[in-house]
Amino acid sequence: MATLILEDGSRFEGTLFGHKQNACGEVVFTTGMCGYQQTLTDPAYRGQIVCMTYPLIGNVGVNDLDFESSCVQPAGVIVSELCELPSNWQLKKSLDEYLGEQGVAGMYGVDTRALTRHIRDHGAMLGRIVSEGEEEIAAQNGEDVILEASCKAAYDVSAEGDVKIAVLDLGMKKSLTDWIVKRGAKVTVFPATASAEEILASGCDGALVSCGPGNPNGYPQIVKTVNALMVEKPVMGVGVGHLMMALGAGCKVIKMRHGHHGSNQPVKDLARGTCAVTSQAIGYAVDGESLPAGVKVSHINWNDKTVEGLRYEGKEAFSVAFVPGGLGGRFDTTYLFDDFLDMVRKNQAK
**pLDDT of the residue at 325:** 79
Domain membership of residue 70 (yes or no) is yes
> Do residues 152 and 25 share a domain?
no
> Do residues 322 and 234 share a domain?
yes
Q: Which helix (H) or strand (E) holds 128?
A: strand 125-130
Identify which has the larger pLDDT, 134 or 146: 146
**Last residue in a domain, options 77, 99, 130:** 130
Q: Which residues of 119-143 are buried (b: 16+ CB within 10 A; e: fewer)?
A: beeeebbbbbbbbeeeeebeeeeee
**pLDDT of the residue at 61:** 97
Domain membership of residue 75 (yes or no) is yes
> Do residues 175 and 321 share a domain?
yes
**pLDDT of the residue at 290:** 86
**Domain containing 54 — which CATH number?**
3.50.30.20
CA-closest candidate to residue 20, choices 128, 138, 100, 77? 100
**pLDDT of the residue at 241:** 98
Q: Which helix (H) or strand (E) holds 258?
A: strand 253-269
Looking from the CA of 184 toward its CB, the CA atoms found within 13 Å total: 8
The domain of 112 spans 2-130
Residue-level length of the chain: 350
**pLDDT of the residue at 1:** 87
* Count of structural domains, the chain: 2
Looking from the CA of 243 toward its CB, the CA atoms found within 13 Å total: 29
Question: Is it the case that residue 214 has pLDDT exceeding 60?
Answer: yes
**pLDDT of the residue at 133:** 65
> Do residues 90 and 163 share a domain?
no
Dihedral angle, C-alpha 141, 111, 212, 289, nearest 10 °: -100
CA-closest candidate to residue 233, choices 205, 210, 209? 205
* Partners of 23 in the β-ladder: 129
Question: Is it the case that residue 198 has pLDDT exceeding 90?
Answer: yes
> Do residues 96 and 195 share a domain?
no
What mean pLDDT is reported for the chain? 94
**pLDDT of the residue at 138:** 55
> Do residues 288 and 254 share a domain?
yes
> Do residues 186 and 108 share a domain?
no
> For 39-98, what is each residue's pLDDT tens digit?
999 999 999 999 999 999 999 999 999 999 999 999 999 999 999 999 999 999 999 999
**Domain containing 281 — which CATH number?**
3.40.50.880
**pLDDT of the residue at 289:** 93
Residue 285: which pLDDT band, with cuts at 50, 70 and 90? very high
CA-closest candidate to residue 244, choices 219, 275, 266? 219
Domain membership of residue 135 (yes or no) is no
Domain membership of residue 20 (yes or no) is yes
Dihedral angle, C-alpha 286, 291, 294, 296, nearest 10 °: 50
Q: Which residues of 70-90 are buried (b: 16+ CB within 10 A; e: fewer)?
A: eebbbbbbbbbbbbeebeeee
**Residue 124 and residue 28 in contact, taking contact as beta carbons nearer than 8 Å:** yes
**Last residue in a domain, options 60, 95, 130:** 130
**pLDDT of the residue at 263:** 86
Any idea what DSSP says for residue 218? Answer: G
Domain membership of residue 138 (yes or no) is no
> Do residues 121 and 194 share a domain?
no
Domain membership of residue 136 (yes or no) is no
> Do residues 196 and 343 share a domain?
yes
Domain membership of residue 323 (yes or no) is yes
Residue 131: which pLDDT band, with cuts at 50, 70 and 90? confident
> Do residues 156 and 261 share a domain?
yes
Distance between CA atoms of residues 308 and 262, nearest Å: 15
**Last residue in a domain, options 130, 156, 176:** 130
> Do residues 18 and 97 share a domain?
yes
Handedness of CA 155, 334, 227, 321 (dihedral sign): negative
Indicate the pairing of strand 11-18 with strand 105-108: antiparallel
How many CB atoms lie under 10 A from the CB of residue 22? 16
CA-closest candidate to residue 312, choices 229, 240, 239? 229
**pLDDT of the residue at 132:** 72
**pLDDT of the residue at 135:** 62
**Average pLDDT of the segment spanning 109-125:** 97
Domain membership of residue 139 (yes or no) is no
> Do residues 182 and 291 share a domain?
yes
CA-closest candidate to residue 295, choices 256, 250, 336? 250
